[in-house]
A and B are shown apart, each in its own frame.
Chain A
Amino acid sequence: MVKLTLIARVTDGLPLAEGLDDSRDLKDAEFYKQQVKALFKNLSRGQNEASRMSIETGPYIFHYIIEGRVCYLTMCDRAYPKKLAFQYLEDLKNEFERVNGAQIETAARPYAFIKFDTFIQKTKKLYQDTRTQRNIAKLNDELYEVHQIMTRNVQEVLGVGEKLDQVSEMSSRLTSESRIYADKARDLNRQALIRKWAPVAIVFGVVFLLFWVKTKIW
C-alpha cells in the first residue's frame, strides 16, 4: 500500500509535488519525509545512482525512478509488490511529463506543481488494493521487468554520501597537513644548515677580526 508520494527535481532537490493526506495513519511520517529529503539531497549532488532503485527503511521501502531529471518516489509497505509500485510510479511519470513537462526546468518555487496532487490521489486509489482484477493483471504482466532493480538499505544509501563527505574531508585535511609538513621540513632543514655551519663561520669571523685588528694596530 502506498504511503507517501513525492516528486522532486533531481538537479537541485526542489520538491515539485507531493501526495496529500498520505500520512493519515502513519505515525512517524515526519521521520520518513526527512529521510526522503536527505535522499533527494544526495541525488542532487550528482552521485550517479541507478535510474530505478528500491531502498529499504524500517518496515517500509522506498521505490524511486529518475526520468528526465525528475525523481518520482513512493514509500510502500515491504509486502507491497514491487512491480505494482513501479507501475504506479510509471503512471505518475507519464502524466506528470504530459502535463508539466515543459515547465519542469523553469519552476522556481517549491511545490510549483502542487496541483498534481489530485492526480496522485486518484492514481493511488487504483493501486491501493493489490487484489483488484486490474492489479492482478498487471502483476502477471511479464512485460515490465523489475527483477534487476537493485535493492539497498537506506543507511547504506544515505551513508554513501556521508562516506564521500568523509573521504573528501580527509583528503583535504591530508593536503593541508602535508603542506604544513613541507613547511616544517624546510624550516628544519635551514636550522640544520645553520647548526652545521655556524661554528665554522664564527671561528672564521674571529680569525678575520683578529687579523683586521692586528693590521689596524700594528
Chain B
Amino acid sequence: MGTENPGRPSFPARTAATPFAAAPPQNVMPFSSSGPLVGSEASGFRPTPPAAPQPTVPFSSSGPLAGSQSSGFRLPPPPRYNDPSVPPPASNVPPTGGPFQRFPTPPFPSTVQAPTSRVPPVGQPIAQTPAPPVSFRPQPQIPPVPMGAPPQSVNSAPPNVNVPYSVSDSSFPAPMTNFQSSFPGYARMQSNADLQPPPMQSPFPSHQGGYAPAPPTSSTPFLSHQGGYVPPPPVAAPLGLQSRDQMQYPGSGAPGSIQGLIEDFSSLSIGSVPGSIDPGVDPKALPRPLEGDVEPKLFSEMYPMNCNPRFLRLTTSGIPNSQSLASRWHLPLGAVVCPLAEAPDGEEVPVVNFVSTGIIRCRRCRTYVNPYVTFTDAGRKWRCNICSLLNDVPGDYFAHLDATGKRIDLDQRPELTKGSVEFVAPTEYMMRPPMPPVYFFLIDVSVSAVRSGMIEVVAQTIRSCLDELPGYPRTQIGFATFDSAIHFYNMKSSLTQPQMMVVSDLDDIFVPLPDDLLVNLSESRSVVETFLDSLPSMFQDNVNVESAFGPALKAAFMVMSQLGGKLLIFQNTLPSLGVGRLKLRGDDLRVYGTDKEHMLRIPEDQFYKQMAAELTKYQIAVNVYAFSDKYTDIASLGTLAKYTGGQVCYYPGFQSAIHGEKLRHELARDLTRETAWESVMRIRCGKGVRFTSYHGNFMLRSTDLMALPAVDCDKAYAMQLTLEETLLTTQTVYFQVALLYTASCGERRIRVHTAAAPVVADLGEMYRQADVGAVVSVFSRLAIEKTLSSKLEDARNSVQLRIVKSLKEYRNLYAVQHRLGGRIIFPESLKFLPLYGLALCRSTPLRGGYADAPLDERCSAGYTMMTLPVKKLLKLLYPSLIRLDEYFLKASAQVDDFKILEKRLPLAAENLDSRGLYLYDDGFRFNIWFGRALSPDVAMNLLGADFAAELSKVTLSERENEMSRKLMRILKKSRESDPSYYHLCHLVRQGEQPREGFLLLSNLVEDQMGGANGYVDWILQIHRQVQQNP
C-alpha cells in the first residue's frame, strides 16, 4: 500500500494547489460597488487573497490525503475519483518515472473504451473472471460495519463487480443493474480497476469523497470508500439502494428508490436501420411534455433550505467538478433567475430588519448571511459558505450554539432557515433617498394611431388604473404626445384643466416647464383625469403622418432624469423626423439567406442603443408598445426595452375592436403589478465557478452587476457558468442571487435567494440532475442572440448540434454496455429536450425564412422570449391542445370542471378530429378550432346565429346556454392561471385557409410544415447524427 503513494500525489497536489494558484474570489465586487444607488459600503471591502497554506508543495510526494487537506478551505478532503481523466496535461503525460508506471495509459481516457472492458449486468457470473482477485482482497475485510452479506454485496458491488463474492451472492440482480447504469462512473472506474493492481484503490476513496465526507481517520483508502455509507442499516436490498442515494446527497431523503434508478435513462426504440428512410419510430411512444413544466423535485429535496425553484433554477443541479467534465456537457451550464417571481399566498418572502447590527455579510466576498453558513467558536464566528472565510459575529447578533452546533435562536431567524429572504437596506445601500414610482407616458398621436383606436384604449386603461398604481401617495405621473411636434402637458394641481405646450423645434429639444410636467398623482388627480378623458378627442382630426419619435424620447428622458421610473411608449408610426429616424428596411426578401440577414434584426441606428444606456444610467425603464400594421422596425425600438430592463409588446395591425381587450389587460398589468425600482442584481457563487455571460433584458454595469431600472414578477434572467479552476475541490457549490431594489412603498430592500448544488464527478450524474426547463430557457436565449449575429438557419443548426452532441455524449456513456444499437437513448431528465429543441426551431423568432413570420413579429417575439420565466416559455414552445366538445356534451359535472385543462393532446394534426372542437393555448392567445364535421348544435350554441359565417369576423361572447357558459368558464380559468399576458381568442374553422394555416397548423410543432421537420423526422435526424461517428 505504501508504494502507491508516489503515484498519487500528482492528483491531490493538484487539487490543493490549483485553488490557490488561481483563486480570485469571483464575486469580488460587492453589491454596492458600482451603482449610483448603492452606497459607500464598497470601500470597506478589500478582497484579501486567500492564504495558501501549502502553496509550495504541489508536487511533493507527501501523503495524498494530507495534500488535499492542506487547503483548509473545506471540511473533508474531497478528492476526485476521476482525477486521472481530468487533470491538466501535465499529469496525463506519463513520465517514465516509477510512480506513473501504474498508469500505463491515462486511466480513463475516453468513455468509449471504458464500457467495453466493463462487465455488463450482474448476474452473469462470467463477469468475475477478469478481475485480478488479489487486488481486491483487502476489501472484504475492510467494511467495518456489521452488516449482513447480501446488503453488503449490493452496496459494495458496483465498484467492483468483478470481485467474486459480489456476484456470488447477488440476490438482487435487477436493482444492481440499474444501480450500475445510474452510475457510469463506476463503470469506467472499474475498467480501470481491471487494469490496475492495488494502487488503483486510491481512486475509490476519491470517488466517494466527492459525495460523502471521508472519515478523517481512515488510513486505508478503502475505508474512505466505504465511508459514504458506513452506517446503512443492514436490512434488505432496497434499503441498501436508498442508502446509496444518501451517500450521494448527504442529508437528502431517499428520493430515488428502485423506481428512480430504473428511470435513470429512457430509450426509444428505433426499429429501422439508422439511415434508412422507413421511420421505425412509433410516434405515440415519443415523449411529450403534456403535464407542462415540472420543477425538479430532487434538487429541493436534497437541500431543503434552498430557495424555491420558481426563483432560481439551474440547468443541472450537479455541478461538474472539472473543466474537462464541463466541456463534455454540451448543454448550457447555468441558471435561470426570476428574482421577484410571484409566490403563492402563505409563502411570501420574509422580511428581516437588522437594525442594530447592520446586514451581516462576509467580509471578503460580501455574501449575505444565509442558511448554509456555519457558526463556530461557540457562536462567536461564522464561516462563509461561499468563500469559507471566518467572520466575526457582531455582538448583537450573537447566540449560543446548542449541542449540534446550531444556533439556539434559529427559529427566530428566517435568514438562517429560509432560502429566500428580504433584508431592509440601511443608509449605506442608498445613494439617494428612495424615489417614488414614476410613470411617464409617451403617446404617438399621428393619424394611424388615431385611426387604430389605440389612443382611446390607452387613455381609458390608464384612467381606470389610476387608483391601483403602486406607491400611493407618492406616485408621480406625466404625459407627452408626439406627431411631427412634441406636446407637453402642464398638470399642476391648481389648474382645472391641463395646459398643452407644443415644442416643434426638433433639433434642439428643451423642456418648456421646469416642473409640473411630472406631477404627484394624488394631488393632481382631477387634472390627470380631465386630460385622459379629453385625450382621444383632442387628436381626433389629426392628419399628421409624421413621427418625431427620437426627439420625443429625448424630451421624455429630460423630464424623467431626476427621478427615474418607468417610461411607457405607445408607438404607431415608423420614426420619421429628427434623431433616430428609421428607414423601411424589413421587406427585403433578397436579404434572407445572405450574410447580411442578421442586420435586419439588430438596431439600425446607434441612437437607440446610446439612448438606452443613458436611460438606464438614470434609472428609467422603457416599455415599448407598438401597434403599427406596417413595418415599424421593432428591432431598433426594442433595443430601448432590452437595455433598460423593460419589455416589448407588439400588436400587429392594432384594431381597438379586436385587440383592445388584450392591450387593456396587459397595460393594466404593467401598471399595477408590483414593481421593484432602481435595482441592481448580482449572483454570487462559490470558489472555482463564475458566471460569465448573462442573457435577458438588462444592462451590465460591471462584469457581473446587472442594472435593472425596473423589475417585476414576469421577468427572468439567464446566465451561464464557467469553471475557473481545473478542478473543484469543494463538495457543494452555493449560489446567491441578491437584488437590491426600492419597493414601491419607498423602502429599500435586498432580496436574497440562496441555493446549494452538489459537485459531481461524473457525467451521468449531471444528466440525471438536469432540469430540462432551465436548459431550454437558456438555450432559447442563446439561439435568439445567435439570430442577431448570424442567419436563422445557423441559429437553428446550432440548437440541433448541441442537442446531438449532448445525446451523443450520453450515448457513449451507456450505449455499449446495454447493447442499444438501434435505440436512441436519453436521460430521463432530458427526455423532452429534443421536442423542445424542435419547438424552439419552429418558434416565431427562429422559424423558417422571410415568408414564415413578419420581421417585426419575429423581433418582438425574440424580445419577449428573452424575458420569459421558465414556465411561460415552455408553454409558449409547446402549447396545450385540448379537446372541448366531448366535455361539453358530457353531463355537467361541476367538480371536475377544470380537469379537462389537464388533458393535453400532442400537437399534431392527426389529433384534430374533424368532429371535434379544440382549444389551443400558448400562454399568449387561444385558438379555438372548429372541426368541419362538428355538430352544428355545438357551434350554434357557442356562436349564436352567425355560426356559419366567416369566423374571423365573429367574436366569442357568453350566450344563454350551458355550453357557452362552460366554454367561457374554461377560458376564464385559463386566463386567471396565467395573468401576465392576456390570451386573445381566435376562432378558426377547419379548412379555412389561410387563417387556419398561420393560426394553428403552423404551430403544431410535431407536424411537418414547409421546410421544417416533424417530430418523427426530427428524432430520426438527431438519432442518425448521434450514431454517426465523430
Instruction: Give the interface of A toward B (CB within 8 A).
Output: 14-15, 17-18, 20-21, 23-25, 108-111, 114-115, 117-118, 121-122
C-alpha spacing A121/B747, complex, angstroms: 19
C-alpha spacing A207/B395, complex, angstroms: 66
Closest A-chain residue to B354, C-beta based? Answer: A108
Stretch from B408-416, B433-441, B660-668 contacting the other chain? B433-441
The answer on a CB contact under 8 Å between A15 and B427 is yes
A18 neighbours in B (Cβ, 8 Å): 433
B579 lies within 8 A of chain A by Cβ = no
A108-B353, A108-B355 as given contacts; A114 in contact with B433, CB under 8 Å: yes
The answer on a CB contact under 8 Å between B430 and A110 is yes
B427 neighbours in A (Cβ, 8 Å): 14-15, 110
Listed A/B pairs (7) with beta-carbon separation below 8 Å? A17-B433, A20-B433, A24-B515, A108-B353, A109-B353, A109-B748, A110-B427
Instruction: Give the interface of B toward A (CB within 8 A).
Output: 353, 355, 424-427, 430, 433-436, 473-474, 514-515, 520, 522-523, 562-563, 746-748
A122 neighbours in B (Cβ, 8 Å): 523
Which of B424, B425, B746 lies at the interface centre, i.e. has the most chain A CB atoms within 10 A of its CB?
B746
C-alpha spacing A121/B492, complex, angstroms: 13
Closest A-chain residue to B353, C-beta based? Answer: A108
A115 neighbours in B (Cβ, 8 Å): 473-474, 746
C-alpha spacing A18/B514, complex, angstroms: 20
Instruction: A20-B562, A115-B473 given; name 18 further pairs at CB < 8 Å.
Output: A14-B427, A20-B433, A20-B435, A20-B436, A21-B515, A21-B562, A21-B563, A24-B515, A25-B514, A109-B424, A109-B425, A109-B748, A111-B746, A118-B473, A118-B474, A118-B520, A118-B523, A122-B523
A24 neighbours in B (Cβ, 8 Å): 514-515, 562
A15 neighbours in B (Cβ, 8 Å): 427, 433
Which of A18, A108, A111 lies at the interface centre, i.e. has the most chain B CB atoms within 10 A of its CB?
A111
B747 neighbours in A (Cβ, 8 Å): 109
Nearest chain B CB to A200's CB is how many angstroms away? Answer: 56
B514 neighbours in A (Cβ, 8 Å): 24-25
Nearest chain A CB to B519's CB is how many angstroms away? Answer: 10
C-alpha spacing A23/B474, complex, angstroms: 18
Count of A-B residue pairs with CB < 8 Å: 55
Closest B-chain residue to A24, C-beta based? Answer: B562
The answer on a CB contact under 8 Å between A121 and B433 is no
A25 neighbours in B (Cβ, 8 Å): 514
Closest B-chain residue to A6, C-beta based? Answer: B433
The answer on a CB contact under 8 Å between B746 and A114 is yes
Closest A-chain residue to B428, C-beta based? Answer: A110
B353 neighbours in A (Cβ, 8 Å): 108-109
Closest A-chain residue to B429, C-beta based? Answer: A110
The answer on a CB contact under 8 Å between B424 and A108 is yes
B473 neighbours in A (Cβ, 8 Å): 115, 118
A121 neighbours in B (Cβ, 8 Å): 520
C-alpha spacing A17/B562, complex, angstroms: 17
The answer on a CB contact under 8 Å between A114 and B474 is yes
A21-B563, A24-B562 as given contacts; A111 in contact with B355, CB under 8 Å: no
C-alpha spacing A24/B518, complex, angstroms: 13
The answer on a CB contact under 8 Å between A109 and B515 is no
B746 neighbours in A (Cβ, 8 Å): 111, 114-115
A14 neighbours in B (Cβ, 8 Å): 427
C-alpha spacing A121/B746, complex, angstroms: 16
Nearest 4 CB-CB pairs, A to B? A114-B746, A18-B433, A110-B427, A21-B562
Which of B426, B427, B430, B522 lies at the interface centre, i.e. has the most chain A CB atoms within 10 A of its CB?
B427
Nearest chain B CB to A104's CB is how many angstroms away? Answer: 15
A111 neighbours in B (Cβ, 8 Å): 430, 433-434, 746, 748
A17 neighbours in B (Cβ, 8 Å): 433
Closest B-chain residue to A17, C-beta based? Answer: B433
Closest A-chain residue to B516, C-beta based? Answer: A125
C-alpha spacing A201/B447, complex, angstroms: 118
C-alpha spacing A23/B561, complex, angstroms: 12
The answer on a CB contact under 8 Å between B426 and A110 is yes
The contact of B748 among A20, A23, A108, A110, by CB within 8 Å, is A110
The answer on a CB contact under 8 Å between B424 and A20 is no
C-alpha spacing A126/B474, complex, angstroms: 19
A114 neighbours in B (Cβ, 8 Å): 433-434, 474, 746
C-alpha spacing A122/B426, complex, angstroms: 27
The answer on a CB contact under 8 Å between A118 and B433 is no
B425 neighbours in A (Cβ, 8 Å): 109-110
Nearest chain A CB to B221's CB is how many angstroms away? Answer: 55
C-alpha spacing A211/B430, complex, angstroms: 88
C-alpha spacing A18/B748, complex, angstroms: 14
C-alpha spacing A20/B565, complex, angstroms: 14
C-alpha spacing A176/B522, complex, angstroms: 62
B355 neighbours in A (Cβ, 8 Å): 108-109
The answer on a CB contact under 8 Å between B474 and A117 is yes
B430 neighbours in A (Cβ, 8 Å): 110-111
Nearest chain A CB to B203's CB is how many angstroms away? Answer: 55
A117 neighbours in B (Cβ, 8 Å): 433, 436, 474
The contact of A20 among B426, B523, B563, by CB within 8 Å, is B563
Nearest chain B CB to A75's CB is how many angstroms away? Answer: 15
C-alpha spacing A130/B379, complex, angstroms: 61
